Amino acid sequence: MTSTLDTPTPDAARSPLDAAPGFVANYPPFGAWTPDAMPAIEAALDAPPRPDTPLGLYVHVPFCRKRCRFCYFKVYTERPSAEIRAYVEGLAAEAALYARRRVVDGRKLAYVYVGGGTPSYLSGDQIRQLFDGLRASFDWDTTAELTYECEPGTVRPAKMEALAAHGVTRVSLGVESWDEALLELNGRAHGARHIEPAYAMARDAGIPQVNIDLIAGMVGETEATWQAGVERTIALEPDSVTIYQMEIPANTALFRALKGEEDLGGTLADVATRRRWASEAFEALVAAGYTMTSGYTAVRGDPDGKFVYRNALWQGADMIPLGVSAFGQLSGVHIQNDKHLPQWLERVGRGELPVQRGYAMSDDDRLVREVILQLKLGRLDRRPFAAKFGVDIFDVFDGPFRRIERAGFGARDGDVVTLTWDGLMQVDALLPAFFLDVHGGDVQGPFGMAMARRQEVRRGA
């Protein structure tokens, strides 16, 4: 999954026919981001970075051969080659604009993530042009991870060789399903016949880590098709497997089909079944020697040092957003780019950062964000939060943690809260209770001063 959302966003406009809470991608919710944040964004760009904060780069490639029926991201299909070339050139120009701002100037990149859309839609020459253009502005000789998303049907040996030559450490293959009929029914551009050759090309090129994405509960999925797909995935022995449970936001073709505006074309499993399928798949992966590193990902072998992008971002790292609709954050300020390709190209062309909206996080917002995102890992230690924010998260979020414990989804033991397996499989449903009340949650803010007063009382002040 990528970091660029079309409008409406999935957490703000989800299908009333899909009762499961949506994937929590960020905080505060995207609906709270507005153009009013522009002064705060400019101030963040012109200020020195926060000490000891890693810097990453997200690059959005919005082009696809087809738009999937469940897709809610900002993508474009059937675009002329001249526009694609202009876009790649625009990414280099946007990178140069960011590199000159004080918050970025001279900093090395800890991670780079190229998502989509379909980044592998680019040709081998365009991939080389992309990386050459970005490297002209950023130093990533010490970058720990460089991820590139690929759609199996667009993978070619020359593309994999170009990725390897430019230091890509992880390729993520959007497999989603191993069933030919399901892929076609759900609007995927690739077929099942493309999966194993694409995987082999990545291996032959020497990419260190190959990830496979699956979706539990696409239209037409059955017990048999899901189990067969999981078995074929395990047999391939990828380095990691990411499984998402199907969502149907309001800006998708499947949402229109569920409302009767289009033909659905098959059955759609209910929320409980989708969750069970994901759980059974992860159980099979664990039995095959994989380790769960979040509620969505199992890693083969030593999990340390993998998914740097995810871990850094969830711990408050900075991230530069490049490309149409891309979002990131700098010094506690969320930033999202213009979502319209012509306007994005025009603004970059005249030397202007194409920012559309954002949100300046308070200390309370930052604390909530890091707590809920890191809870997705299944284990949360309160000590780093005390050192970083000066509060005890077990005190601040006592109510939400008690609800998790009463439901049997997790427990606090000493300094650590650990989710049960069932809690991890539905972690997104647990997170809204941790939101501040102004964003629809159960936590009253601001609580910084209240926490300080409580600590003074405990010290006998």
What is the DSSP secondary structure assignment for residue 49, as one 8-state letter? Answer: P
Can you give the pLDDT at residue 451?
47
Can you give the pLDDT at residue 21?
53
Lowest mean pLDDT among 77-81, 127-131, 247-251, 387-391: 247-251
The burial class, CB within 10 Å (0-12 / 13-18 / 19+), for 346 is middle
Residue 376 in tokens: 């997705």
Strands 55-61 and 111-116: parallel
pLDDT surpasses 90 at 104: yes
Among residues 207, 205, 141, the alpha carbon closest in space to that of 172 is found at 207
For the residues 322-327, what does the mean pLDDT come to?
Answer: 97
For the residues 69-85, what does the mean pLDDT come to?
Answer: 89
pLDDT surpasses 50 at 1: no
Can you give the pLDDT at residue 129?
97
Q: Where in the chain is the domain with CATH 3.80.30.20?
A: 30-313
What pLDDT, in 10s, does the model give residues 265-281?
999 999 999 999 999 99
Can you give the pLDDT at residue 371?
97
For the residues 86-90, what does the mean pLDDT come to?
Answer: 98
Nearest 5 degrees, angle CA 434-CA 37-CA 97? Answer: 115
For the residues 193-218, what does the mean pLDDT come to?
Answer: 97
For the residues 399-420, what does the mean pLDDT come to?
Answer: 97
- Listing DSSP states for 5-19 in one string gives B-SS-TTTSB-TT--
pLDDT surpasses 60 at 41: yes
Can you give the pLDDT at residue 65?
94
Instruction: Spell out where 75-158 has E strands.
Output: 76-77, 111-116, 145-150
Strands 209-216 and 170-176: parallel
Can you give the pLDDT at residue 253?
86
CA 279 to chain centre: 20
Can you give the pLDDT at residue 18?
45
Q: Where in the chain is the domain with CATH 1.10.10.920?
A: 363-458
Measured torsion, CA atoms of residues 264, 269, 275, 281, in degrees rounded to the nearest 10: -90
Can you give the pLDDT at residue 350?
97
* CA distance linking residue 157 with residue 197, whole number of Å: 10
Q: What is the mean pLDDT of the chain?
A: 91
For the residues 114-140, what does the mean pLDDT come to?
Answer: 96
Q: How sure is the predictor about 5, in pLDDT bands with cuts at 50, 70 and 90? A: very low
Cβ-Cβ contacts under 8 Å for 225 (sequence gap 6 or more):
177, 178, 179, 182
Place of tokens 């990528």: 2
Cis geometry, peptide bond prior to residue 152 (ω within 30 degrees of 0): no
Q: How sure is the predictor about 454, in pLDDT bands with cuts at 50, 70 and 90? A: very low
Residue 86 in tokens: 């202009």
CATH fold of 363-458 reads Arc Repressor Mutant, subunit A (1.10.10)
pLDDT surpasses 70 at 458: no
**Type of residue found at 118:** T
What is the DSSP secondary structure assignment for residue 3, as one 8-state letter? Answer: S
pLDDT surpasses 80 at 205: yes
Give the architecture (CATH level 2) of 30-313.
Alpha-Beta Horseshoe (3.80)
Can you give the pLDDT at residue 325?
95
Q: What percent of the chain has pLDDT over 90?
A: 80
pLDDT surpasses 70 at 2: no
What is the DSSP secondary structure assignment for residue 107, as one 8-state letter? Answer: P
pLDDT surpasses 50 at 456: no
Among residues 314, 451, 318, the alpha carbon closest in space to that of 386 is found at 451
CA distances (Å), origin 279, targets 70, 78, 324, 370: 21, 37, 35, 25
Can you give the pLDDT at residue 441?
84
Q: What percent of the chain has pLDDT over 70?
A: 92
pLDDT surpasses 70 at 55: yes
Q: How sure is the predictor about 305, in pLDDT bands with cuts at 50, 70 and 90? A: confident
Can you give the pLDDT at residue 238?
98
CA distances (Å), origin 424, targets 78, 278, 292: 39, 11, 10
